[in-house]
Structure 1
Amino acid sequence: MTETTKRASTTLDQAPQQHFPCEECGADLTYQPGIRTLRCEYCGHENPIIDAPAKIKEYSFSSALEALAHSEKRPLDNTPIIKCPNCAASFELKKNQHAGDCPFCGTPVVTSTGETRLFQPKSLLPFNITEEQARSSFDNWIGQLWFAPSALKNKATRDERLLGIYVPYWTYDSHTDSYYQGQRGTIYYEQEVITEVVNGQTRQRVVNVPKIRWTPVSGQVRQFFDDVLVGATRSLPRKILDNIQPWDLDNLVNYNEAYLSGFQSEIYQVDLDEGFNQARELMEQAIQQAVRRDIGGDQQQITALDTRYSDTTFKHILLPVWSAAFRYQGQTYRFVINGRNGRTQGERPYSIVKIVSLIITILILMIGLGYYLETSGILDQMLQQGGSVQYEYYPNTPHYPSYPNYPR
């Protein structure tokens, strides 16, 4: 089943908008993390969010690419012009956003994403932790950083402002069949006689020298990848987004604009095919590890690898993050917090004073230790008893690096 790519007849400034008035008093409602109701802060009435019971669907990747190839290309980077449904003011959302607040009356407005991108989000994870909880997670993260400037741990001097935003992601499922050729390495030992000088005397001894016997191998590895996750935003660094995983994707709900009320939401900037290329990089890493396990032995070499992908499907989803930035000595550092579990990652400054102090402390300790060994006579005793340490080197023995397993 493919996602619709039919071109809408409305223009950007005619895109439908929604806001969510209270059923009792008409006040504008915003979503409160962790609950499935829109609670009115004025009259206290709880307006339930009704989730569609339909199962979260996967969409055919190949059919979507075919539809894209035959569709008329749209202007993807136009800025939507929004007319507030409360005060009738017209304003622009920031580029690549489709949810925000009216700057004139503060009304939360959500506009359709179908007017600016071919694919609309079909499911999301609602925010689960509040801004206060997210700020606490950030404080804990800052407190655990080595060599962080002391000023960052002083809440009163920081100027960060948390922003709740739904970030677009792609997920990909795919069956893979990988055909490989390579070599299996088995370690064995041969005895060799070496000559060495000990206390001025020459002597010989027998040592076991490791060697590797290589055997040609070939085979096939079959794997299924489920929900390989790729961030579809360019606003935040990919490394930071990858490091706030895991996400509880089993708890995805069908897309409901009520969850976006009071939060910002981005439109995807990484296209479907580009996202799959990034997903393939992740899958290929896991495939290589599976091939090495299949080869077996003590060492492995892969000389040829051909992977075929089939029955590939995708989902376009929104995931919640608390995002902010703080300034330190004229530079801006960004960080994000997983809106489900509070996991925090970001850019950080280093305290040069703390690093230099540590280096000086280590030098002082080393000088002190050397002085103690020399004055106590221990150093002279060590030199008299010593001899030299012999390092054995075998130029004809190949060295092959080991490859750790990375379980999926």
Structure 2
Amino acid sequence: MTSFDDQQQPVVEHTENIKCTSCGGNTEYNPESKGLKCPFCGHEMPIEATYNHTVELDFESAGNSRNHLWQEEKRVFQCQNCGAESVLDANVVADFCSFCGSSHISVTEKDAGIQPGLLIPFQISQDQALDKFRVWIKGHFFAPTQLKKTYRLHKISGAYLPYWTYDSHTQSHYVVRVGNYYYETVTRTVYEDGKPKQVTEQVQKIRWHQESGNYREFFDDVLIKASSTVEPKLLQKVQPFQLTSLTDYKLEYMSGFLAERYQTSLQQGFTEAQDVMKNGITRGIERSVAGDIVQVVNLSTDYTNITYKHILLPIWISSFHFNQKVYQFIVNGQTGKVSGNYPLSIMKIVFVSISVLIVLLMVYLFLES
């Protein structure tokens, strides 16, 4: 039967402790009320959302300034099993990794790095995330029937994943190979009932030539994931996040949740962003050059006025056991979209395959009769 495995599950440490003004207990951010709520007395404290940090930061000077580092005293905890690095208060001790459940946690010498300027606060509560998981697991026909009754669900944890966004003006010089269709009339001999017959038809051909030119494009908020902890395919399936909901990073939004330290550096992230921009530039050039076929054969791009933002995006993450195997799943903390791994029933797959073959065979026999 479904249950929480309390003895082996990761303990979610609070990244921030903000005291309740009523009883003095530690409050937690409540996605449903979008404010702080005390789990002891139920007192709620509103959070005023602000939007002062939407300004872009200069990429070139990022490594020479400490103005954008974490201002609060932080420690970085690293999981020796999955490599996840969590940013926690200096006085917090992490017992388990919230990403994989491992107890092999150590304090590293790394600093917390660049503080996020913006985040999307959780809008899906833990209870809502669990409900969405249950609906998701029941909706998979090819999962074993027994799975829906006997899986053991681990403790679900709310975590903010780190991302970079980049803006850049680009100016590119390109060389393209351009093909234009033309048609030639061709007469050929075909045989019908053993007799030759002359057939005239239009045959499509391509005339190629080479062109060069310049192309400019501005890229705004190219989003690059700075975490390697969550399986990329799972994360891709719960996207997109609605970045219009980004608000200023505040301690209150972090209360009761984890913040993962970025594993992709600012410079590495821009290298990935350049690949995204290059693809966009290539598509833009192909659209702007007149021709039936346009192939970019050479491209040289200058990137100027590069800016960035460090943002945090919310997910609920957990896993479940079935037949002594662990399957991870995640829930988008903003939209509630679910993605995860699950076992497949070989019997169901075989049954459906045989059923499809029988139907196809019956259709074939009917058409042949």
- Which of residues 166, 179, 182 is equivalent to 2:176? 182
**Cα 1:206–1:151, aligned 2, differ >3 Å: closer, same or farther?**
farther
**Aligned partners of 1:123 and 1:317 also within 8 Å:** yes
- Which of residues 33, 38, 42 is equivalent to 1:44? 42
- Which of residues 85, 90, 95 is equivalent to 1:96? 85
- Which of residues 60, 63, 66 is equivalent to 2:61? 63
**Aligned partners of 1:77 and 1:96 also within 8 Å:** no
Which runs of 5 or more residues in structure 2 are unaligned? 1-14, 67-73, 96-107
Quick one: which amino acid aligns to residue 56 of structure 2?
Answer: E
1:116 corresponds in structure 2 to 111
**Cα 1:131–1:355, aligned 2, differ >3 Å: closer, same or farther?**
same
CA positional deviation for 1:350: 2.8
CA distance in 2, matches of 1:175, 1:103: 43
CA positional deviation for 1:331: 3.1
**Cα 1:64–1:138, aligned 2, differ >3 Å: closer, same or farther?**
same
Describe the SS at the equivalent of 2:177.
strand
Show the 5 A alignment for 1:225-236: 225-236=219-230
2:124 corresponds in structure 1 to 129
CA distance in 2, matches of 1:114, 1:249: 32
- Let me know the Cα RMSD of the aligned residues: 3.0
**Aligned partners of 2:132 and 2:336 also within 8 Å:** yes
Describe the SS at the equivalent of 1:212.
strand
- Which of residues 255, 259, 266 is equivalent to 2:253? 259
**Cα 1:53–1:66, aligned 2, differ >3 Å: closer, same or farther?**
closer
Instruction: Report the more deviating stretch, 282-291 or 339-348.
Output: 339-348
CA positional deviation for 1:328: 3.5
CA positional deviation for 1:305: 0.6
CA positional deviation for 1:63: 1.0
CA positional deviation for 1:155: 5.8
Quick one: which amino acid aligns to residue 300 of structure 2?
Answer: D
CA positional deviation for 1:54: 2.6
CA distance in 1, matches of 2:87, 2:208: 58
Instruction: Report the more deviating stretch, 137-146 or 127-136.
Output: 137-146
CA distance in 1, matches of 2:165, 2:316: 21
Describe the SS at the equivalent of 2:123.
coil
1:204 corresponds in structure 2 to 198
**Aligned partners of 1:78 and 1:95 also within 8 Å:** no
**Aligned partners of 1:33 and 1:130 also within 8 Å:** yes
TM-score normalised per structure 1: 0.72
Structure 2 residue 190 is the aligned partner of structure 1 residue 192 = no
**Aligned partners of 1:114 and 1:120 also within 8 Å:** no
- Which of residues 265, 283, 287 is equivalent to 1:271? 265
Fraction of identical pairs, as percent: 38
Could you report, residue by residue, the CA deviation over 1:314-336 in whole angstroms, capped at 9, with x for unpaired residues?
11111110112223444322222
1:224 corresponds in structure 2 to 218
**Aligned partners of 1:99 and 1:263 also within 8 Å:** no
**Cα 1:341–1:354, aligned 2, differ >3 Å: closer, same or farther?**
same
**Aligned partners of 1:183 and 1:295 also within 8 Å:** no
CA distance in 1, matches of 2:65, 2:24: 42
**Cα 1:346–1:279, aligned 2, differ >3 Å: closer, same or farther?**
farther
Structure 2 residue 319 is the aligned partner of structure 1 residue 325 = yes
From the CA coordinates, give the structure whose radius of gyration is larger: 1
Show the 5 A alignment for 1:24-35: 24-35=22-33
1 or 2, which has the higher strand percentage? 2
**Aligned partners of 2:238 and 2:331 also within 8 Å:** yes
Quick one: which amino acid aligns to residue 85 of structure 2?
Answer: N
Show the 5 A alignment for 1:385-400: none
CA positional deviation for 1:115: 6.9
Could you report, residue by residue, the CA deviation over 1:65-91 in whole angstroms, capped at 9, with x for unpaired residues?
4559xxxxxxx99648xxxxxxxxxxx
Could you report, residue by residue, the CA deviation over 1:282-334 in whole angstroms, capped at 9, with x for unpaired residues?
11111111111012321111111111111111111111101122234443222
- Which of residues 236, 243, 246 is equivalent to 1:242? 236
CA distance in 2, matches of 1:114, 1:256: 25
Could you report, residue by residue, the CA deviation over 1:84-116 in whole angstroms, capped at 9, with x for unpaired residues?
xxxxxxxxxx96112488789xxxxxxxx9972
**Cα 1:297–1:138, aligned 2, differ >3 Å: closer, same or farther?**
farther
**Cα 1:308–1:45, aligned 2, differ >3 Å: closer, same or farther?**
same
**Aligned partners of 2:76 and 2:112 also within 8 Å:** no
CA distance in 2, matches of 1:144, 1:296: 48
1:5 corresponds in structure 2 to none
CA distance in 2, matches of 1:67, 1:42: 42
**Cα 1:141–1:191, aligned 2, differ >3 Å: closer, same or farther?**
farther
**Cα 1:98–1:191, aligned 2, differ >3 Å: closer, same or farther?**
same
**Cα 1:114–1:103, aligned 2, differ >3 Å: closer, same or farther?**
closer
1:73 corresponds in structure 2 to none
Describe the SS at the equivalent of 2:240.
coil
Instruction: Report the more deviating stretch, 211-220 or 133-142.
Output: 133-142
**Aligned partners of 1:170 and 1:315 also within 8 Å:** yes
Could you report, residue by residue, the CA deviation over 1:120-149 in whole angstroms, capped at 9, with x for unpaired residues?
112211001112322333344445546333
Structure 2 residue 339 is the aligned partner of structure 1 residue 345 = yes
How many residues are paired up? 330
CA distance in 1, matches of 2:212, 2:138: 51
